[in-house]
């Protein structure tokens, strides 16, 4: 006999209740979805953190290359060699492009923004001449992130810049690989969350489910059975007393009205 329905002569029809909303499923699934959303958000934000840090580190790495090249250009200028007449530069530019991972292009411009030496697919969308204010800069277009380092002649006047472009697709490759790893971990976590939450919620709500089953049965039998003394430990004594009064008053009122109607119909 069910502990909480010992005073009830009818049995809880589990089959019928299965048709009702199953509390533990509704609650377990909803809570699991919230947690899944939260940890999905963590993974999404972490991916962004990774992307940003990875990009910054690569730009720092490529800045080394740009500084190196700028130094070569400035050494040439000190010797009176403009970048156009510095025969070593072309070879150096190509050599750096070949040896440096993720480098999309490398270009040397003069003070008007005209390209003097270059290697790789140089971006043509940006107006570099406008950036020649003496400070280094970073920029981006659809294909690349760029670092620009201006160089100066013997008089300290900015006469051009070295610009390197980091291939966005190289970053995307790394980010995609990281995304896949994070998604797989998220899926593992979601699986574990659903199993844990559903079983945990089921366990925690067993008694509430019983209380609701009993209350529902009592309500269903309002007009057909005598009021029963029930125990509702989870719903509490307030609900228990309210239920008893509700059933009693409804039943008595219904009986009284039925009797009156019966008298009328007989007469």
Show contacts with another protein in window 241-260 (CB under 8 A). 242-243, 245-246, 249-250, 253-254, 256-258, 260
Q: Any idea what DSSP says for residue 154?
A: T
92 closest CA partner among 77, 72, 111, 115: 72
- Please pick, from the candidates 44, 121, 134, 141, the single residue that binds another protein as defined by CB under 8 A: 44
- The whole-angstrom separation of Cα 194 and Cα 183 is 16
Nearer to another protein, 6 or 223 (CB): 223
| Three-class SS state of 107 | strand
Should residue 182 be labelled a site residue for another protein when binding is judged by CB under 8 A? yes
Provide the phi-psi class of 190: left if phi over 0, else alpha when psi is between -120 and 50, else beta. Answer: alpha
- Please pick, from the candidates 2, 13, 71, 98, the single residue that binds another protein as defined by CB under 8 A: 71
Q: How far is CA 121 from the centre of its chain?
A: 34
- The whole-angstrom separation of Cα 23 and Cα 251 is 29
Show contacts with another protein in window 124-153 (CB under 8 A). none
- Please pick, from the candidates 109, 162, 164, 193, the single residue that binds another protein as defined by CB under 8 A: 193
- Please pick, from the candidates 6, 13, 64, 173, the single residue that binds another protein as defined by CB under 8 A: 64
- What number of residues does the chain have? 267
Stretch touching another protein by CB under 8 A, among 108-116, 152-160, 162-170, 209-217: 209-217
| Three-class SS state of 11 | coil
Question: At 117, which helix (H) or strand (E)?
Answer: strand 115-120
Q: How far is the CB of 112 from another protein (least distance, A)?
A: 25
- Please pick, from the candidates 16, 45, 121, 173, the single residue that binds another protein as defined by CB under 8 A: 45
- Name the H helices within 79-124: 87-99
Should residue 43 be labelled a site residue for another protein when binding is judged by CB under 8 A? yes
Nearer to another protein, 38 or 121 (CB): 38
Show contacts with another protein in window 12-41 (CB under 8 A). 20-23, 26-27, 30-31, 34-35, 37-39, 41
């Amino acid at each position: 006999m069910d502990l909480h329905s010992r005073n009830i002569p009818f049995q809880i029809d589990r089959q019928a209740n299965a048709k009702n909303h199953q509390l533990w499923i509704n609650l377990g699934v909803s809570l699991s979805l919230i947690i899944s959303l939260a940890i999905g958000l963590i993974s999404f934000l972490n991916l962004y953190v990774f992307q940003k840090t990875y990009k910054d580190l690569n730009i720092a790495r490529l800045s080394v290359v740009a500084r190196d090249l700028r130094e070569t250009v400035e050494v040439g200028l000190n010797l009176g060699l403009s970048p156009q007449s510095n025969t070593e530069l072309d070879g150096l530019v190509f050599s750096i492009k070949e040896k440096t991972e993720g480098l999309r292009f490398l270009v040397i411009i003069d003070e008007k923004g005209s390209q003097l030496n270059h290697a790789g697919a140089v971006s043509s969308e940006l107006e570099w001449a406008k950036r020649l204010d003496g400070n280094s800069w970073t920029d981006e277009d659809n294909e690349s992130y760029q670092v620009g380092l201006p160089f100066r002649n013997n008089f300290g006047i900015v006469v051009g810049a070295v610009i390197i472009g980091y291939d966005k697709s190289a970053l995307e490759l790394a980010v995609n690989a990281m995304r896949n790893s994070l998604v797989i971990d998220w899926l593992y976590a979601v699986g574990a969350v659903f199993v844990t939450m559903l079983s945990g919620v089921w366990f925690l709500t067993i008694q509430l489910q019983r209380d609701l089953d009993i209350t529902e049965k009592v309500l269903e039998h309002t007009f057909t059975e005598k009021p029963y003394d029930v125990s509702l430990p989870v719903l509490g004594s307030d609900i228990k007393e309210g239920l008893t009064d509700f059933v009693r008053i409804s039943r008595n009122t219904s009986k009284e009205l039925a009797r009156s109607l019966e008298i009328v119909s007989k007469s």
